Amino acid sequence: MSAVTGDRVLARAVRHGGPWIAVLAVSALAVAGADLLLPAVLGAAVDAALRPGDRPGRWIAAAVALIAVIAAAEILTGLAAGLGTARATARLRHTLIRHVLALAPGAARRHPAGDLVSRLVGQVPGAAGAGPAVALAATALVPPAGSLVALTLIDPWLGATFVAGLVVLTLLLRAYVADTADAATRYQHTQSTIAARLAEALTGARTIGAAATVDAEIRRVLRPLPELGRHGARIWDAIGRAAAQGVLLAPLMQLAVVAVAGLALAAGRLTPGAVLAALQYVALGAGLGGVVGVLGRIARSRAGCRRTAEILAAPAQRYGRRDLPPGAGRLELRGVTVRHPDGAGRPPVLDHLDLVVAAGATVAVVGPSGAGKSALVAACGRLLDPDEGEVLLDGVPLPRVRHESLRRAVGYAFARPVLVGETVDAALALGPGAPTAARIRAAARAARIDTVIERLPDGYDTRLADTPLSGGEAQRLGIARALGAQRLLVLDDATSSLDTVTEHEVGRALIDAADRRTRLVVTHRAGTAARVDRVAWLDHGRLRGYAEHRVLWRDPGYRALFPGAGR
**What is the DSSP code string of 459-473?**
GGGSBGGG----HHH
Mean pLDDT of 279-305: 73
The answer to whether the beta carbons of residues 448 and 506 sit under 8 Å apart is yes
- Write down the mean pLDDT value for the chain: 84
The answer to whether the beta carbons of residues 543 and 337 sit under 8 Å apart is no
| pLDDT band at residue 543 under the 50/70/90 scheme | very high
| pTM for the full predicted model | 0.70
| pLDDT band at residue 557 under the 50/70/90 scheme | very high
Q: What are phi and psi of 287, to 5 degrees?
A: -65, 120
The answer to whether the beta carbons of residues 63 and 38 sit under 8 Å apart is yes
**What is the DSSP code string of 115-171?**
HHHHIIIIIHHHHHTHHHHHHHHHHHTHHHHHHHHHHHHH-HHHHHHHHHHHHHHHH
N-to-C CA span, the chain: 54
Kindly give the residue spans of alpha helices, DSSP state H, lying in 267-321.
Answer: 272-286, 288-312
Percent of the chain scoring above 90 in pLDDT: 26
Q: How far apart are CA 85 and CA 163, in angstroms?
A: 35
What is the per-residue pLDDT for 289?
53
SS3 560: coil
| Strand 331-338 versus strand 350-357 pairing type | antiparallel
| pLDDT band at residue 2 under the 50/70/90 scheme | very low
What residues have CB less than 8 Å from 505, skipping those under 6 apart?
448
SS3 404: helix
Mean pLDDT of 78-98: 91
Closest CA to 491 of 401, 405, 380, 399: 380
What is the per-residue pLDDT for 172?
67
- The string of pLDDT tens digits covering residues 184-221 is 888 888 888 888 888 878 777 777 877 778 888 888 88
Mean pLDDT of 261-279: 82
Q: How far apart are CA 385 and CA 375, in angstroms?
A: 9
DSSP state of 302: H
Amino acid at 466: D
Q: 437-446 and 500-511 are packed helices; what angle lies between their axes, rounded to 10 degrees?
A: 130
What residues have CB less than 8 Å from 555, skipping those under 6 apart?
545
What is the per-residue pLDDT for 554?
93
- The string of pLDDT tens digits covering residues 13-54 is 889 988 999 999 999 999 989 988 988 888 888 888 887 767
* Domains of the chain from N-terminus onward: 6-312 (1.20.1560.10), 331-559 (3.40.50.300)
How many other CB atoms are found less than 10 A from the CB of residue 404?
13
